[in-house]
Amino acid sequence: MNDAEIRVALIGYGLGGQSFHAPVIATTPGMRLAAIVTGNAERQRLARTEHPDARVVDTADELFRVHTETDLVVISTPNRTHVPLAMQAIDAELPVVVDKPVAPTSAEARRLAEEAKRRNVFLSVYHNRRWDGDFQTLRRLIKDRALGHVLRFESRLDRWRPAPKGGWRELDAPEEAGGLLYDLGTHLIDQALCLFGPVADVYAELDKRRPGIAVDDDVFLALTHASGVRSHLWATVMAAQDGPRLRVLGDRAAYTKFGTDVQEAALRRGERPSAPNWGVDPPENYGLLGVGQDARPVATERGDYRGFYIGVVRSIREGAPPPVDVRDAIAALEVIETARRRAQPPGLPPA
């Protein structure tokens, strides 16, 4: 592809599409949000207000009938629809980005990856938290050997939502891929695999804490990496007080960071990544690096989810590797499947 803008069609305009894809796509150099697919009348109204230059389409079928007007399809829909919609895009020979999890099972994800490879169609998965500022900071510290040899990685995403909200994420049918392990757990696992490589063993606790909930809403994983590092990962909606976002122990120093990446809250407020100081962590949230009382604040790297889509532009135009390889998403799904098989909480049978 030449330097013309990549025309993006976004399928789905719920929270993910509206807040985590559309504003990032619209502000990524080399991209243009050309179409939004949603059959919901209120979301159509919002889409036209927030992105007046994009055409609004009722259904994915309507979009694919005129697919020559699209250069990239982005799928941000309920998990059960990810694979069928991605297959439609691949059949139309359109590059495609799928939100996480890419599929309800690793087997379905492999079939999708094989079809994309067979048809020579670009496929990537939106593991956007690789572009969190705290994760970028930790990657730099590890690369610089500031921690020495890493022994243990602790990572958590805490929420306080004691009342269920309803919706497809709380449905327990296998094809829905509902629950917190598939939702926030995917990010936590992906980050651990990126930093420390393949997993040799998985221990899991999956609980249902809220009355009437049908899926896991409180998750703990202990991963033993082939490299010897141990990762302890938490995700919960029952955290009345937050723990550290990251705590990483090395044989030379430790790094502890409180507070989640600022981008999520900004996107939910309707801010755009083109805003001044986007992704800049306030100094009071800087993590501490060192030993005991000698630990010092370390400025957080600037987070920017546009990094994912900049990588997509390079892949489509220049043939560069995808910003997230679908094989990484498959590896994360394999960890999820192992966790579900081995965890035995009351009321949640193994997958």
Q: In this predicted structure, what is the pLDDT of residue 350?
A: 47
**Which whole number is the average pLDDT over 115-141?**
98
224 and 314: one domain?
no
Q: In this predicted structure, what is the pLDDT of residue 284?
A: 96
Please tell me the total count of domains within the chain: 2
pLDDT in tens, 244-256: 999 999 999 999 9
Q: In this predicted structure, what is the pLDDT of residue 345?
A: 54
In Å, how far are 10, 29, 36, 59, 70 from 55, measured between CA atoms? Answer: 10, 20, 6, 12, 11
206 and 253: one domain?
yes
211 and 257: one domain?
yes
110 and 171: one domain?
no
pLDDT in tens, 192-251: 999 999 999 999 999 999 999 999 999 999 999 999 999 999 999 999 999 999 999 999
Count the alpha carbons within 13 Å of 280 in the hemisphere toward its beta carbon.
7
In this structure, the number of other CB atoms found within 10 A of the CB of residue 107 comes to 13
> Would you say residue 160 lies in a domain?
yes
**pLDDT bucket at 344, cuts 50 / 70 / 90:** low
Tokens of 320: 């560069």
What whole-number distance in Å separates Cα of residue 124 and Cα of residue 278?
A: 24
Q: State the pTM of this model.
A: 0.95
Q: In this predicted structure, what is the pLDDT of residue 207?
A: 96
161 and 105: one domain?
no
Question: Residue 100: is its pLDDT beyond 80?
Answer: yes
Structural domain range at position 282: 129-302+335-342
pLDDT in tens, 300-343: 999 999 999 999 999 999 999 999 999 999 999 999 999 999 99
17 and 34: one domain?
yes
Sequential DSSP letters for 296-312: EEEPPPPP-THHHHHHH
Q: In this predicted structure, what is the pLDDT of residue 301?
A: 98
Is 175 buried (19+), middle (13-18) or exposed (0-12) by CB count in 10 A?
A: middle
Tokens of 122: 């670009």
pLDDT in tens, 173-187: 999 999 999 999 999
Question: Residue 1: is its pLDDT beyond 80?
Answer: no
Tokens of 333: 């799904």
Q: In this predicted structure, what is the pLDDT of residue 68?
A: 87
> Would you say residue 1 lies in a domain?
no
What whole-number distance in Å separates Cα of residue 295 and Cα of residue 318?
A: 43
Q: Which of 125, 233, 251, 136 is nearest to 188 (CA)?
A: 233
Q: Confirm if 90 and 113 have CB atoms less than 8 A apart.
A: no
**pLDDT bucket at 49, cuts 50 / 70 / 90:** very high
289 and 164: one domain?
yes
Tokens of 255: 């790094």
Is 93 buried (19+), middle (13-18) or exposed (0-12) by CB count in 10 A?
A: exposed
> Would you say residue 317 lies in a domain?
yes
Question: Residue 62: is its pLDDT beyond 50?
Answer: yes
The per-residue pLDDT of the chain, averaged, comes to 96
Sequential DSSP letters for 245-259: SEEEEESS-EEEE-S
Q: In this predicted structure, what is the pLDDT of residue 346?
A: 55
What whole-number distance in Å separates Cα of residue 227 and Cα of residue 6?
A: 40
Q: In this predicted structure, what is the pLDDT of residue 347?
A: 47
- Please state, for a pLDDT cut of 90, what percent of the chain lies above it: 95
Q: In this predicted structure, what is the pLDDT of residue 67?
A: 79
254 and 148: one domain?
yes
Give SS3 for 244.
Answer: coil
289 and 152: one domain?
yes
